[in-house]
A and B are shown apart, each in its own frame.
Chain A
Amino acid sequence: MTRLLVCPPDYFGIEYEINPWMRLSNRVDHERAVQQWHGLMRVFEQDLGVTLERMTPVAGLPDLVFTANAGVVVDCTAVVSRFRYPERQREEAYFEAWFRGHGYAVVTLEKALFFEGAGDLLGFPDCWFGGYRQRSDIRAFPHLSERFQREIIPLELVDSRFYHLDTCFCPLSGGDLLYFPPAFDSYGRSAIVQRVPKDRQLPVPEGEALQFACNAVCIGKHVVLPSGCPATEHLLQARGYHTHSVPLDEFMKSGGSAKCLTLALD
Chain B
Amino acid sequence: MSLHQETVLISGHIIDSLILAKVLDIILMMGGAFNLEDVRIGATREEPSRARIVIRASSTTLLDDILKAIQPHGACAEREADCRTAEAPADGIFPDDFYATTHLPTQIRLHDQWIDVDRIEMDLGILVDAQGATARSIPMADVRQGGRIVVGRDGVRVTPLQRPRERDVFGFMESQVSSERPHHHIITDVASRMRQLRERHRQGQTDSTVLLAGGPAIIHAGGRDALTWLIEQEFVHLLFCGNALAAHDMEADLYGTSLGYGLAAGRAVPHGHEHHLRTINRIRAIGSIEAAVTSGVVKQGIMAACVRQNVPVVMAGTIRDDGPLPGVITDSVLAQNAMRAAIPGVGLALLVASTLHAVATGNLLPATVPTVCVDVNPSVPIKLSDRGSFQAVGLVMDAASFLSELARLLGRSV
B residues in contact with A141, CB < 8 Å: 12-13
Give bound CA distance, A185 to B13, whole Å: 17
Interface residues of B in 1-41 (CB under 8 A from A): 11-14, 16-19, 21-22
Are the CB atoms of A133 and B16 closer together than 8 Å?
A: no
Interface residues of A in 133-157 (CB under 8 A from B): 133, 137-139, 141-142, 145-146, 149-156
Out of A149, A150, A153, which one reaches B16, CB within 8 Å? A153
Are the CB atoms of A139 and B46 closer together than 8 Å?
A: no
Out of B12, B21, B45, B46, which one reaches A154, CB within 8 Å? B12
Q: Is the C-beta of B153 less than 8 angstroms from some C-beta in chain A?
A: no
Task: Name A154's closest neighbour in chain B (CB-CB).
Answer: B17
Out of B14, B16, B48, which one reaches A194, CB within 8 Å? B16
Stretch at the interface among B68-76, B158-166, B305-313, B385-393: B68-76
Decide yes or no: A154 and B11 within 8 Å by CB, A145-B46, A145-B48, A146-B48 being known contacts.
no
Are the CB atoms of B16 and A191 closer together than 8 Å?
A: yes
Out of B11, B45, B48, B73, which one reaches A156, CB within 8 Å? B73
Say how far A129's CB is from chain B's closest CB, in angstroms: 9
Give bound CA distance, A185 to B251, whole Å: 77
Are the CB atoms of B45 and A151 closer together than 8 Å?
A: yes
Out of A137, A150, A191, which one reaches B17, CB within 8 Å? A191
Are the CB atoms of A187 and B13 closer together than 8 Å?
A: no
Say how far B279's CB is from chain A's closest CB, in angstroms: 74
B residues in contact with A190, CB < 8 Å: 18
- What 1/0 mask marks residues of chain B from 55 to 69 whose CB sits below 8 Å from any chain A CB? 000000000000000
A residues in contact with B13, CB < 8 Å: 141-142, 145, 151-154
Task: Name B19's closest neighbour in chain A (CB-CB).
Answer: A154
Task: Name A152's closest neighbour in chain B (CB-CB).
Answer: B13
Are the CB atoms of A127 and B45 closer together than 8 Å?
A: yes
Are the CB atoms of A150 and B73 closer together than 8 Å?
A: no
Give bound CA distance, A132 to B73, whole Å: 8
Q: Is the C-beta of A27 less than 8 angstroms from some C-beta in chain B?
A: no
Task: Name A187's closest neighbour in chain B (CB-CB).
Answer: B18
A residues in contact with B22, CB < 8 Å: 156, 185, 187
B residues in contact with A138, CB < 8 Å: 12, 19, 72-74
Interface residues of A in 51-88 (CB under 8 A from B): none
Give bound CA distance, A152 to B14, whole Å: 9
Task: Name B25's closest neighbour in chain A (CB-CB).
Answer: A187
Task: Name B48's closest neighbour in chain A (CB-CB).
Answer: A142
Task: Name A186's closest neighbour in chain B (CB-CB).
Answer: B18
Q: Is the C-beta of A38 less than 8 angstroms from some C-beta in chain B?
A: no
Q: Is the C-beta of A195 less than 8 angstroms from some C-beta in chain B?
A: yes
Are the CB atoms of A152 and B72 closer together than 8 Å?
A: no
Say how far B198's CB is from chain A's closest CB, in angstroms: 52
Say how far A200's CB is from chain B's closest CB, in angstroms: 17
Interface size class of B (residues with CB under 8 A): 10 to 19
Are the CB atoms of B72 and A153 closer together than 8 Å?
A: no
Give bound CA distance, A132 to B17, whole Å: 12
A residues in contact with B12, CB < 8 Å: 138-139, 141-142, 145, 152, 154
B residues in contact with A126, CB < 8 Å: 45
Are the CB atoms of A142 and B11 closer together than 8 Å?
A: yes
Give bound CA distance, A258 to B72, whole Å: 29
Say how far A169's CB is from chain B's closest CB, in angstroms: 14
Decide yes or no: A139 and B45 within 8 Å by CB, A153-B16, A154-B17, A187-B22 being known contacts.
no
Give bound CA distance, A139 to B74, whole Å: 6
Are the CB atoms of B16 and A195 closer together than 8 Å?
A: yes
Out of A139, A149, A152, which one reaches B76, CB within 8 Å? A139
- What 1/0 mask marks residues of chain A from 112 to 142 whose CB sits below 8 Å from any chain B CB? 0000000000000011000011000111011
Are the CB atoms of B17 and A155 closer together than 8 Å?
A: yes
B residues in contact with A150, CB < 8 Å: 46
Say how far B78's CB is from chain A's closest CB, in angstroms: 14
- What 1/0 mask marks residues of chain A from 171 to 196 whose CB sits below 8 Å from any chain B CB? 00000000000000101101100110
A residues in contact with B21, CB < 8 Å: 187
A residues in contact with B72, CB < 8 Å: 132-133, 138, 156
A residues in contact with B74, CB < 8 Å: 132, 137-139, 154
Give bound CA distance, A191 to B18, whole Å: 7
B residues in contact with A156, CB < 8 Å: 22, 72-73
Give bound CA distance, A139 to B73, whole Å: 8
Say how far B61's CB is from chain A's closest CB, in angstroms: 24
Which of B13, B22, B46, B74 is packed against the most chain A CB atoms within 10 Å? B13
- What 1/0 mask marks residues of chain B from 279 to 323 whose CB sits below 8 Å from any chain A CB? 000000000000000000000000000000000000000000000
Say how far A230's CB is from chain B's closest CB, in angstroms: 33
Task: Name A138's closest neighbour in chain B (CB-CB).
Answer: B74
Say how far A181's CB is from chain B's closest CB, in angstroms: 15
Are the CB atoms of A187 and B19 closer together than 8 Å?
A: yes
Decide yes or no: A151 and B46 within 8 Å by CB, A138-B12, A145-B13, A156-B73 being known contacts.
yes
Say how far B67's CB is from chain A's closest CB, in angstroms: 15
Shortest 6 CB-CB contacts between residues of A and residues of B: A142-B12, A187-B18, A138-B74, A153-B17, A151-B45, A187-B22
18 intermolecular pairs with C-beta atoms under 8 Å apart? A132-B72, A138-B12, A138-B19, A138-B72, A139-B12, A145-B12, A145-B48, A149-B46, A151-B13, A151-B46, A152-B12, A153-B17, A154-B12, A154-B14, A154-B19, A187-B18, A187-B21, A191-B17
Given A127-B45, A150-B46, 11 more A-B residue pairs with CB atoms under 8 Å apart are: A138-B73, A142-B12, A142-B48, A145-B46, A151-B13, A152-B12, A152-B13, A153-B17, A187-B22, A188-B18, A191-B18
